[in-house]
Every structure is written in C-alpha cells, then in structure tokens.
Amino acid sequence: MRERPEFDHFIYTRMMGGGLGNQMYRFAGLYTMGKMLNRTPVYVHEEFKMHEIDKELAYVFPNYHSKVYFLISINFTLLNIAVIIMILKYCWSKNKGRGLYLTGGPNFLDTRYIEHMRPQILKIFEFGKELVSKVTAIKDKIISEDTSSHKMCIHTRVGDFKGIGESQTVEVNKAHVRILKILKRLLKDKTYSLLLFGTDKDFLKTIKVDESISKVHYIINLNLTRGEELNFATQICDSFLITAAMSTYATWMGYLMPDDRPIFFIRRLMQNPTIDTLYMLPESWIPIDENWLKD
C-alpha cells in the first residue's frame, strides 16, 4: 500500500536506470532535500526501472515502497503495480510551481546529503518481515556451525567496475591483514572467520586468506537475492571492509549495519571528475589509503 504523500509539492530528477544502490541513494537524497523544502519525492511515470523493481521493493523495503509515487495518472494494472495517483495532468499544467526538477544528475552519491537524518533513512530502508525471517534462518544455521568467531565481512566488486576503482586482489589481501592486526589488539582470545561478498567467483578464488582465519564463507553460494544479501550482512557481520568504495550497493550494505560495527574502506582518488571517497562516506568509517596497499 502507498502512503498519502506528506507534502502536496514535489521534487524529482530525470529518469535513471541504475541498480538498487543507486535508486536508494537517489530517493534518500530527494527525501532529505524534500523535508527541508516541504516537497515529496516523486518519479516520472516513464520510470521503467522503478516499475521493474516494484515487487522487489515491496518485499525488501516496504516502507520505501510505500513512498514511491508517480507524476501523472496511468493504468498500471497490466504490470500488477498499485499506484496512487498523486498529481492529475490538469493540475500539473495549471500549477507548474508544484514540481521542483533537479538538474545535474539523477542521484546524489554522498552520505553528507542524508547523514543528518540517519534515523529516518534507516526507517525508510527497514527490511520487510518476511525477508528478515528467511535470512535469519540462514544466518542461524551458519552461526550454529561457527558460533564464537568474529565474523569479518569483505565486499568485492570487479566486473562492471573495472577502471573506476574495482576490487583488486593485492589490495584485498593486504587490507584484511591490516584490519586483523587492529582487531586482534582490541579483541583478545578471539577466533576469526571471513565472509566474502561478491559475484565474481574467479576473483574471490584469488584472495589469499590470512592463516589466522579459521573459516571462510562465500556468500554467493547462499543464493540470496540482493535485498536478502543486504540484510544478511546487517545480521552477521561483526566488522566490514569495502574494497570498491564507489559501489553504492556496498555503501548501503555498510550504512544499514548497526552503529557499533567498525566499517573500513579502501579510499579511492579519481580524476575526471575529481572524486575522493573519503568525503563521500560517513566520517565514522575508517579509510585505508590505497597507496598503503601497493606492492
């Protein structure tokens, strides 16, 4: 079910075909800006990606799903999408000031847009009960076989990220050893297991696991959906390393974790455009400079 819009003025961007992480960033940014401007985030009715993931959102993030509105009336019954009509075309043409269109890009890849409203953002991206129940059963089975270890999670991304800060074997190897040294100073008499997230099995096999790791779990083998995987990380990870810091999916995986989880990331500096992930991610997250990880 869709909620009634909070405001009768609206804020939106151009259409975007990005994945779940990008869509979450876009909505979160529009939501926080809309709160300041008394405007409700909306989508244009041709937003095919939002129609495509509608059922997924209802399962993964029902609160987010309830806030997805489209600009004009259209019959979506053939797509099995229940849409409350928020703005009639006539009203839109008569009162153009009701809509604020943001130019410059469809999403806002920076947690500084949203960090001041973190509790509200976490409520929007609260996981659905059915999903949580399924994932909890999977997590409990793993825990039953690996009860006492500190579970260090690493997210990797290669494939479509080549050339824009993809995960690299040497960096992953060195970074997780550095983190283990830190954890061992803080946590005495602990064993450690490693949970590797990522879809490239060949890449995951190239990671040389530190000898102090007692067990390795390859999360791809659990056959989770991407939403289930996000929730699984929030339930099981005791610490977290992001190795491709430009990955919005990895960012949300960390952002949705409990506040007491230490989160590390390999800092990326890029040109054209100039990007420094140090300033895009929460201040509480711990950067590892990529120059420290070179051979």
- 176 domain residue, yes or no: yes
Give the Cα-Cα-Cα angle 183, 189, 191 (nearest 5 degrees). Answer: 70
pLDDT at 160: 76
3-state SS, residue 194: strand
Domain edge (last residue) among 79, 102, 124: 124
pLDDT at 123: 98
Q: How far is residue 98 CA from its own chain's centroid?
A: 30
pLDDT at 94: 43
Residues composing the chain: 295
Read off the amino acid at residue 175. A
pLDDT at 291: 80
Domain edge (last residue) among 124, 141, 171: 124
Segment-wise mean pLDDT, segments of 10 residues, the chain, 295 residues: 91 90 96 96 90 96 96 47 36 61 83 96 98 98 93 93 85 94 90 96 94 95 98 98 95 98 94 86 94 75
174, 180, 185, 191: CA torsion to nearest 10: -150
Instruction: Return the H-helix or E-strand segment holding 242.
Output: strand 239-242
- 1 domain residue, yes or no: no
Report the domain count for the chain.
Answer: 2
Cβ atoms of 40 and 11 closer than 8 Å: yes
Residue with tokens 């029902």: 62
Task: Report the distance separating Cα 114 and Cα 31, nearest Å.
Answer: 9
| Model-wide pTM > 0.85 | yes
pLDDT at 96: 58
- 115 domain residue, yes or no: yes
- 148 domain residue, yes or no: yes
CATH code of the domain covering residue 150:
3.40.50
pLDDT at 165: 81
Instruction: Return the H-helix or E-strand segment holding 251.
Output: helix 248-255
- 5 domain residue, yes or no: no
Structural domain harbouring 191 = 129-293
